[in-house]
Amino acid sequence: MNTVAKAFTLGRPALVGYLPAGFPTVDDAIEAAQAMAQSGADVIEIGLPYSDPLMDGPVIAAAVHRALSSGTRIRDVLRTVEAVASTGTPTLVMTYWNPIDQYGVRNFARDLDKAGGAGLITPDLTPEEAGPWLEASDEFGLDRVFLVAPSTTGARIEAVTRHCRGFVYAASLMGITGTRAAVSGDASALVERTRQHTDLPVAVGLGVSTKEQAAEVAGYADGVIVGSAFVARLLGAGSQTQALTAVRELTAELAAGTHSLRPERTA
């Protein structure tokens, strides 16, 4: 069984890095994600390209569009997961629900498990609509990461986190992904509210792009999630060699910030 649990038992916050499969090519994406894993990321999210990415900002949306245009399919996502998980770093798939539903929920869970994947992050799936996924994830021992946001009520946080496994994804703000000058001030309060309902690690995403921001979030959260900043580095690279260098450098910077602090857990 491959789970993200070990990433949150190292005595300090975990760095969670995201890259979409298939961008700029399937093989290049594998190399970039492996470089991230080897440079300090504790968990890797592999994005499953989807044609209607409601939560994705312009940077990730551009990369996903190119991945789809080049013919990236679910089999390529699973191959990417297998290659990245072989580094020993827990590897999740970040996906909208429609592609999994079309593939077959149990079929995907089975194939993800075979590839060594740890589980799914599902931004548009609610626990009430996740019956088949709850069953399949139980059968194959996969983590299931649902999201909470600043607008989520206490009762709703309790309902969502009850079905999470691995960690809880705390979206720092209401909106789409993307780098920002500052992390939302709502994030710390959301982490505190979420911890009132679960003992699972709480990782914060949306808006983190610098070592300083990572350190800030690591001061109160169990994990720091970064996506758009990595994708932007790939978009701005003139070659695969430059892309790998940029990913390694950014990962090392963010890891230094994330790993510098251990969050104080409150009862």
Answer yes or no: 158 catalytic.
no
Which is the catalytic residue, given 56, 216, 222, 253? 56
Which is the catalytic residue, given 27, 31, 42, 45? 45
Q: Which residues contact 259 (CB under 8 A, 6 or more apart)?
A: 12, 13, 15, 40, 218
In this structure, are residues 42 and 14 in contact, taking their beta carbons and an 8 Å threshold? Answer: yes
Q: Please state, in angstroms and rounded to a whole number, the distance separating the CA atoms of residues 144 and 165.
A: 5
Q: Cα 262 to the chain's mean position, in Å?
A: 20
For residue 205, what are the CA distances in angstroms to 79, 83, 105, 216?
25, 24, 26, 12
Answer yes or no: 45 catalytic.
yes
Amino acid at 20: P
| CA angle (120, 126, 130) in 5-degree steps | 65
Q: How many residues does the chain have?
A: 267
Residue among 89, 81, 77 at smallest CA distance from 38: 89
Would you please indicate which residues are annotated as catalytic (active-site) residues? 45, 56
